[in-house]
Structure 1
């Protein structure tokens, strides 16, 4: 049993607690509202299902929940597209959470790391001058990189294979907070992405292994994990404080590799003529000159 099978109860509780009843036009009633967010009865009313049925869904006791009901609950809870997908996936697991499930998920082996095709490695090398690029696999495993990416972030070649993982580097590497100028946002995105990943692929052993390890080793990861955020980032910006050339503001794009399930190519660029582009070129020149 994986983590996704135990997620429905805390996820739905967190999402209804995050809503403002007054903003949705729901009254407090005669008695003062005693819970934060929406009550189960209110979610059931908004979703058009019975209170008993919604309660069974939230407690993980309902089997074969239809797509229509999932959609109705997603609408009632104002879920984002990523959260809606996550709810549908974990509902399909249709297993009641129990005390042994969490431990069982942590007993799973990590499994083999996927291989990156030679053609993708050639693509990484072709971008090497000023376009840092990485390939991520299941559970944010870092599978491949080009030389300038290694100079922007960490010396990946020198790290043990077990540490070559995006989430592990953010939460456990001693230089992560100095390197990532928006560390808290990076950390939130990493956790939300991991949760989205296990929603899609509930039996993915590498993702489960990473989650287990980080829950045991990082208090900050545990805090963010308990927030039950679900979000998949495919584009955005990152600010990095590189010890050689200073601050870099990079725009990233993530591309799923259709012939390599679970793998994503991430590229990082800067506008032509920008200070970041100049610093990337300076970094590339240092690499070419063997200045490291």
Structure 2
């Protein structure tokens, strides 16, 4: 993918790079995060000019030459063997999600066409959403574009947006809403945790789709519009989890804590997000209340009710 700088043009990490440079940027971010003490390196007599480990220190820990590691980090060498990646992961003490992300970034890349097509929601998935009216559900693609939701999912997450918005040319985007839409942002009592997960998901999407102009534009515009996004993006968070507890402050039902289960659709780079609470709990009662309020809004008024309303 071509480079797309954002912000004031400085190389502060807010760039979607080629696969080689993405690999180097991730390695650099984790090297700078790693302290010499954590790596078992005794403090030296000279003052350190850079945070974290020096390149030569990491290269020695991983058992590779300084020149080879430097080429990896500078993007001159765009791939590395599995043995080298595993050694670097151990030296940097990466968690399993970070290790897998490093593998994806380091995998040899074949020339590929830019991914520009619009994601489509399969009719069967649309029918599935409609078949679970009692459970809030939403489908997003790798760009965090909303492809569809059921009525309760729409009412829970974005009641201020038109229900049919996913079918329009410009779809709602969960990442954009989270950082620049005050209504959606106010929904999350645990906004920072949700934001970190969202940025991590976009980083992983970039690794899987290194040539995606729409994804590139999304990240670039978010970095310009939201300093918080820019800072989070530069830290290159990586997380993999299909289950979260979401603490919401909903404008209709108030405070509610819901489980958020994410299911990846086979053969599609799409995910279904489901929100629920154990039966018999106040949180489940809140979802029932939201469903009732939705029914009242969608049920046409009778002639007598219309007359009384005049």
TM-score normalised by L of structure 2: 0.83
- 8 Å CA contact retained: 2:138, 2:150: yes
Name which one, 1 or 2, has greater alpha-carbon Rg. 2
Distance 2:262 2:170 in 1: 23
The equivalent residue for 1:72 is 87
Which of 111, 119, 139 in structure 2 is aligned with 1:114?
119
Q: Which runs of 5+ in 2 are unaligned?
A: 3-15, 300-310
**SS of 1:22's equivalent?**
coil
Q: How many residues align?
A: 278
Distance 1:169 1:162 in 2: 13
Give the superposition deviation at 1:176.
2.7
2:49 is the alignment partner of 1:44 = no
Give the superposition deviation at 1:161.
4.6
Residues 77 and 177 (structure 1), Cα distance of their counterparts in 2 relative to 1, 3 Å cut = same
**SS of 2:197's equivalent?**
helix
Distance 2:133 2:17 in 1: 38
Residues 63 and 165 (structure 1), Cα distance of their counterparts in 2 relative to 1, 3 Å cut = closer
Deviations 1:41-80 (A, max 9, x none): 1111111101111111111112542121111111111112
Distance 1:285 1:94 in 2: 51
Q: Which runs of 5+ in 1 are unaligned?
A: 96-107
Give the superposition deviation at 1:10.
2.6
Distance 2:289 2:121 in 1: 29
* Structure 1 stretches of 4+ moved >4 Å: 158-161
TM-score normalised by L of structure 1: 0.87
The equivalent residue for 2:206 is 198
2:272 is the alignment partner of 1:265 = yes
Residues 68 and 37 (structure 1), Cα distance of their counterparts in 2 relative to 1, 3 Å cut = same
- 8 Å CA contact retained: 1:9, 1:59: yes
**Of 73-82 and 42-51, the range deviating more from structure 2:** 73-82
Give the superposition deviation at 1:173.
0.8
Q: How does 1:143-154 map to 2 (within 5 A)?
A: 143-154=147-158
- 8 Å CA contact retained: 1:252, 1:267: yes
Distance 2:79 2:114 in 1: 29
The two structures, once aligned, show a CA RMSD in angstroms of 2.3
The equivalent residue for 1:188 is 196
Which of 135, 150, 173 in structure 1 is aligned with 2:139?
135
